[in-house]
Structure 1
């Protein structure tokens, strides 16, 4: 069959059935992925589809079955490591469950912006929506999603109103701070993320609470924006503090900037200063020295988001409130007891 024939418009299911030597019902079953088709027959039908250039009408199938096999994802930015890796995990697990994803960025995190994204997703025909909130510029009390839409929210405090999946930010920060205190450091300095970030604020609050519970002084925080450059600027300030022997940075990229600043100021890591990050990026073990950090299981976050949404779509029992994915401390070469 020539390439021109493969592109011939108007190829129908009946045409495929005729070429394959089967019934139109069998073609339909193969097209819909029905398991009760003999493998040889299935291959015969697929070969006929390829030969004729037939593509199943997924929109028509979706309307008939009442589902589109597509999940919408609304988010405010892909620039952060957490968001990009969460989206990657959602897409991967959705694909394993036979779903595609449609991504809708929201330029400005407002109620109108979120509702506009839901409108666009409605036009694109999705079965349910995962909202990656990340920022609390949208107060949970003000967030009202359209009724009748199945939703799971990531990284938010909307757990009393919608199912939420999040990394256990607080426990990760506690582990980081306790690790440094356990090595003998008198206190731990902190480079925090942006003030509008849920994750940043949870980590900072847990760091402060851990120091207070241990009866240790709470140093002033250095505010970053998740970038290595902001960590570098914060590190230059901390390098001028002779009493600073331990730093917990709210993500690995800022930790990298902190380490560079200390190196430039002649303060060795971990000889003079210990540094802990958060995320456990794939390259964290290649930092110099390798970075002690808090591991986030983004794959598990993505899996739970998709599974939670699919349970709603199937009207199965699911979790209510916030579901936390555990973190764990990964000890490498950037931490040691304080000098002396």
Structure 2
């Protein structure tokens, strides 16, 4: 900064004001300072700025998995929303959901100097190992029911599942089979519970769910089982990838979709409209989830406090060609 000031013929304070975009510097002086910066290759030291302000303009994100569509698209939404606010994102995957691993992740993020932390993890994992997030850390939790302890942002899992099952029953199906996600998943359990509740309230038979692991391959294996059940006319799959595998299995076993079996997924991934047939599914607004996560984190940063409670992002049913009234 002293070198820039000497070359431009101004004080270091003037260089600082130009560097930080403060008003009150005439245009001729500002142009001289900017020209000197360019000639000397000067760039403001962001670390020094952060220490002076006590703010790093960085949000940390902890996640247990980057293999699921939901986590990846939520992370994309967080990164986009953070960038719009002028914040960077530091990602820290945690391989094993233990107290020590999560405590270590928070310690590493502290060393990397972040202003707040967004945690993408399942409350089942939290409860299973009795995880406690460090106190006095500004935290937003995604996809959990820990709203009494932290700020939580989630998709309306139950509402989306209810809409899917009610739609199939409204078409005339006597019951709906369920291709569920993994038991340890909070989102999967919410969707399963809503499926079961709608069938019970409607006086329908509640079949045993067939469980997958979110992958298309697991949907295919489950589909081979469901295809052998002659009375299976409708299936609600807990995500679109498993629905894709299900469609393949039904096709291989000669069960037509939607003439013989109707299929609904969950997520509305970009490719779902290109499935054969195009998939009826529940749309999740991952961009809005990401935006609300960043908003919740920054509100804690700016207000220097913590907040608790859950914000749900609405879903909507997207009807395409994979659903129809049952034959006959």
TM-score over 0.5 (shorter chain) = yes
| RMSD, aligned α-carbons | 2.0
Question: Could you give the per-residue CA deviations for residues 42-87 of structure 1, whole angstroms, max 9, x where no partner exists?
Answer: 6664454333222221111111100011110011011100000011
Alignment of 1:261-340 (within 5 A): 261-315=249-303, 320-340=308-328
Q: Cα 1:39–1:203, aligned 2, differ >3 Å: closer, same or farther? A: farther
Tell which deviates more after alignment, 105-114 or 229-238: 105-114
- Please point out which of 254, 259, 275 is paired with 2:247: 259
Q: CA deviation at 1:32?
A: 3.2
Q: Hey, what's the Cα distance between the residues in 2 that align with 1:36 and 1:229?
A: 64
Match of 2:97 in 1: 109
Matched, 1:172 2:160: yes
Cα deviation 1:179-228 (Å, max 9, x = unaligned): 11111111110111111110000000100001101110011111100000
Q: Taking structure 1 as reference, are residues 16 and 198 closer, same or farther at Cα in structure 2, changes over 3 Å only?
A: same
**From 66, 84, 93, the counterpart of 1:78:** 66
Distance 2:185 2:22 in 1: 45
The partner residue of 1:31 within 19, 43, 52 is 19
Note the 1:12-27 alignment, pairs <5 A. Answer: 13-20=1-8, 22-27=10-15
CA contact (8 A) 1:154 1:166 kept: yes
Q: Does residue 1:156 correspond to 2:144, yes or no? A: yes
Paired position in structure 2 for 1:134: 122
Query: Match for 2:41 among 22, 45, 53?
Result: 53
User: Which stretch of the first structure deviates more once superposed, 294-303 or 20-29?
Assistant: 20-29
The structure-2 alpha-carbon separation of the partners of 1:235 and 1:318, relative to structure 1 and needing over 3 Å to count, comes to: same
Output the CA distance in 2 between the equivalents of 1:27 and 1:275: 64
For residues 72 and 196 of structure 1, what CA distance do their matches in structure 2 show?
Answer: 24
Comparing both chains, which one has the higher relative contact order based on Cα–Cα distances under 8 Å and sequence gaps of 6 or more?
Answer: 2
Quickly say closer, same or farther: Cα 1:186–1:44, change in 2 above 3 A: farther
Q: 2:212 aligns with which of 224, 237, 252?
A: 224
Distance 1:117 1:173 in 2: 33
Aligned to 2:194: 206
1:140–1:157 Cα contact (<8 Å) kept:
no
Aligned CA distance change for structure 1 residues 95 and 42 (closer, same or farther; 3 Å): farther
Task: Write the deviation string for residues 298-320 of structure 1: whole angstroms up to 9, x where unpaired.
Answer: 00000000001111111178863
Instruction: Work out the CA distance in 2 between the residues paired with 1:271 and 1:187.
Output: 16
Distance 1:187 1:193 in 2: 19
Note closer, same or farther for the CA distance 1:289–1:47 as it changes in structure 2 (3 Å cut).
Answer: farther
The Cα of 1:24 is off from its aligned counterpart by: 2.7
Distance 1:292 1:90 in 2: 27
Q: How does 1:56-71 map to 2 (within 5 A)?
A: 56-71=44-59
> Gapped runs of 5+ residues in structure 1?
1-12
- Taking the aligned partners of 2:120 and 2:272, their CA distance within structure 1 comes to 25
Tell me the TM-score normalised to structure 2 length. Answer: 0.94
Distance across 2 between alignment mates of 1:225 and 1:15: 60
Deviations 1:94-145 (A, max 9, x none): 0110110111111101122111100100111111100111351221892321
| Structure 1 residues 162 and 258, CA gap change in structure 2 (3 angstroms) | same
Q: Give the drift of 1:148.
A: 1.4
Secondary structure, aligned partner of 1:184: coil
